[in-house]
Structure 1
Amino acid sequence: MANDIAPALTSADFASDQDVRWCPGCGDYSILAQMKKVMPQLGIPREKIVFISGIGCSSRFPYYMNTYGMHSIHGRAPAIATGLKCVRPDLQVWVVTGDGDGLSIGGNHFLHLMRRNVDLKILLFNNRIYGLTKGQYSPTSPLGKINKSAPMGVIDNPLNPLSVAIGAEATFVARSIDVNIKHLGEVLKRAAEHKGTAFVEIYQNCNIFNDGAFDYATDKVSKFDTTVELEHGKPLIFGKNKNKGIRLNGTEPEVVELGKGISEDDLLFHDEKAPEPTLAYLLSRMRHPEFPEPIGVFRAVDHPKYDVELNKQVETAREKKGPGDLDALFNSGETWTVG
């Protein structure tokens, strides 16, 4: 008897035949590798997966995944992905963008995608620079950063992508780091499994135009003191010896040392499922060097999905009025003849 069960897919099945054209040493390679490892774990056929990008180094991503994909226009990937998901709800749709593409020209699309809670997965590669156009400052470049378009230092106040997403009440918000491959893989898998808008900021090193921007979070020695891993239901503890923590002093977070009268019960416990996003927003504001920067899932809640609700309305309209007729629509209402 023939076995009609399709063989399980592997990471190699998700690798396209295109030459990967990122600079040697770019953090994008690591993100691509983890995505190809995660995809087989989802049990979704390749023909049911789509990657849509805008413009930038990150936006080459669809070429390198053996799925459907589209390299769209600058900043508009969220709009195109929304349209696709609404008419093809059976597809898993990913948006791959960068800090320039997604937060500058694409900022408005990014914001409204979050508030609508369309069932899309968004990866924002944040290298705090414009890489493809050769080193201009981006919306996330820190104040004082000297580069080709700011030879005397950046004076724009930088955007915090997580704060924007949480402020727009995105239902899944997370952060990971390109070289923290185990953590990155786990975050990507959780984003893939979330129903609703899943936003993941990935600290990604551009070794050509902004090398070392995240050394504090990746250095083998310093990372234990400069990052704190979020775990649902657990206290915020960090440090190489797990002897430091974050507690609230009124409404302000502060770093404390365990012992000397301070126990784990005194610390801030992470609740990614809290319906109110206030604490998630507070965590997004914790920045190096004053605080360790959180990585992991900040928020994971369930809200109505725009694409689902839209299709319910379409179905209701069809039940009440029957199938649509474009010719009848065009010739209804107020019409006139141009002589």
Structure 2
Amino acid sequence: MNEMTKVTTAKDWASDQEVRWCPGCGDYAVLKAVQRTMPDLGVAREKTVFVSGIGCSSRFPYYMASYGFHTIHGRAPAFATGIKLANPELDVWIITGDGDALSIGGNHTMHVLRRNLDCQILLFNNEIYGLTKGQYSPTSRIGTRSPSTPFGSVDRPATPGMFALGAGARFIARGIDVHKNLPDVLKAAHAHRGASFVEIYQNCVVYNDEVFAPFTDRSVAQEKQLWLKAREKMLFSGGTKGIAIDAERMALKVVEGDDPSVLVHDPKNRAIAAMLIEMPQSFPVALGVIYEDPAPTFESAVVEQNAAVAKGKTPDLQALVSKGQTWQVEKEPHSL
């Protein structure tokens, strides 16, 4: 923690705005988790920026006592990129939803991941368009009935983690809105230098209630959740079961917890990360930090390049504008 950084509490990070989501919405839990986490990060409110697009999750910046931008649909990554390039010292968080990030904003999400901008991307995935009254989203499952798919969706849903992996993300994690481990996932994302992509399973109580219950409900959580930790065995179900490699099929398989073939989690293993992201429904859901392999960040490369080009010279805007092919249009005498 910087000596000049004021010690804060969760209350210090809560703004004076009335929090307005539907009663019981998972967004409340995520907001509280973030507000509780910020003091532990030792960051300053005046150097923290939350950027959002459009959607239920995009109200988020109003509720954080820091700088914030509520921007336009799908374009939060573009705004965040400009903010980070203008002032690389700022701590930038992107708050988005499955519709905002993967539909209209799909290309922007792809490029911020590909460029590896140093920021935290929190994607609230409730598998539905909540703000516009329950239409199916890019992550909605086949058969989802909604105002736009009254007979059931026939679209194959996008998998946020695989989208991020394919776009070149160097950090991919998952969490659950109400789970006690979410702050730990947020801390890991913040500690990573580069674009951190965190998918948060978020329950929409109005339009898609309990869609994640098959693995979030307390009665099945132990059996259906695999919380990953670097350099530790992939165990679940109270340690009685584990994940191993099926060498014949080159796929994952479930084995007994004491089986010597149980995998030890290596976050840098991209191939295993892909398997963990797309495990079958009969398997547990992989949670925590699934993939992390740091690489140089976009803004650091830009800053380095600018410094090399400037060679110690003071920036001159007029010289920049006048550089290259320029001309001046002289006003011709008026003629009848």
TM score, norm. by length of structure 2: 0.93
Contact 2:5 2:43 in 1 (8 A): no
Q: In the alignment, which of 262, 267, 272 is matched to residue 262 of structure 2?
A: 267
**Letter of the 2:201 counterpart:** Y
Q: Distance in 1 between matches of 2:190 and 2:121?
A: 10
Deviations 1:144-176 (A, max 9, x none): 111111011111111100111122231211000
Match of 2:334 in 1: none
Mark the CA change 1:132 to 1:333 in structure 2 (over 3 Å): closer, same or farther.
Answer: same
1:243 aligns with 2:240: yes
- Higher mean Cα deviation, 143-152 or 215-224? 215-224
In the TM superposition, residue 109 of structure 1 has moved relative to its aligned partner by: 0.7
In the TM superposition, residue 222 of structure 1 has moved relative to its aligned partner by: 1.1
1:138 aligns with 2:137: yes
Q: In the alignment, which of 266, 275, 279 is matched to residue 286 of structure 1?
A: 279
> Secondary structure, in 3 states, of the residue corresponding to 2:137?
coil
Match of 1:162 in 2: 161
Q: Distance in 2 between matches of 1:205 and 1:235?
A: 29
Question: Percent identity over the alignment?
Answer: 49
* 1:1-339 paired onto structure 2 within 5 Å: 8-180=7-179, 182-239=180-237, 241-250=238-247, 251-258=250-257, 263-274=258-269, 277-288=270-281, 290-319=282-311, 322-337=313-328
Deviations 1:86-135 (A, max 9, x none): 11011100000000000100100111111111101000000000000000
In the TM superposition, residue 26 of structure 1 has moved relative to its aligned partner by: 0.1
Q: Distance in 2 between matches of 1:15 and 1:283?
A: 35
Q: Distance in 1 between matches of 2:42 and 2:80?
A: 21
For the aligned residues, what is the CA RMSD? 1.6
**Letter of the 2:25 counterpart:** C
Contact 1:179 1:218 in 2 (8 A): no
Mark the CA change 1:280 to 1:329 in structure 2 (over 3 Å): closer, same or farther.
Answer: same
Mark the CA change 1:18 to 1:287 in structure 2 (over 3 Å): closer, same or farther.
Answer: farther
Deviations 1:235-283 (A, max 9, x none): 22112x422221111211112234xxxx342112210134xx1111111
Q: Distance in 2 between matches of 1:319 and 1:199?
A: 35
> Secondary structure, in 3 states, of the residue corresponding to 1:222?
helix
In the TM superposition, residue 337 of structure 1 has moved relative to its aligned partner by: 4.7
Contact 1:167 1:281 in 2 (8 A): no
Contact 1:286 1:293 in 2 (8 A): yes
**Letter of the 1:81 counterpart:** A
Contact 2:5 2:42 in 1 (8 A): no
Contact 1:115 1:169 in 2 (8 A): yes
> Secondary structure, in 3 states, of the residue corresponding to 1:248?
strand
Deviations 1:168-188 (A, max 9, x none): 2312110000111x2001101
Mark the CA change 1:6 to 1:332 in structure 2 (over 3 Å): closer, same or farther.
Answer: closer
TM score, norm. by length of structure 1: 0.92
Q: Distance in 1 between matches of 2:85 and 2:6?
A: 30
In the TM superposition, residue 335 of structure 1 has moved relative to its aligned partner by: 2.9
Mark the CA change 1:287 to 1:72 in structure 2 (over 3 Å): closer, same or farther.
Answer: farther
> Secondary structure, in 3 states, of the residue corresponding to 2:99?
helix
Q: Distance in 1 between matches of 2:320 and 2:123?
A: 41
Contact 2:6 2:44 in 1 (8 A): no
Gaps of 5+ in 1: none
Gaps of 5+ in 2: 331-336
Contact 1:96 1:122 in 2 (8 A): yes
Q: Distance in 2 between matches of 1:82 and 1:189?
A: 21
In the TM superposition, residue 44 of structure 1 has moved relative to its aligned partner by: 1.2
Contact 1:235 1:264 in 2 (8 A): no
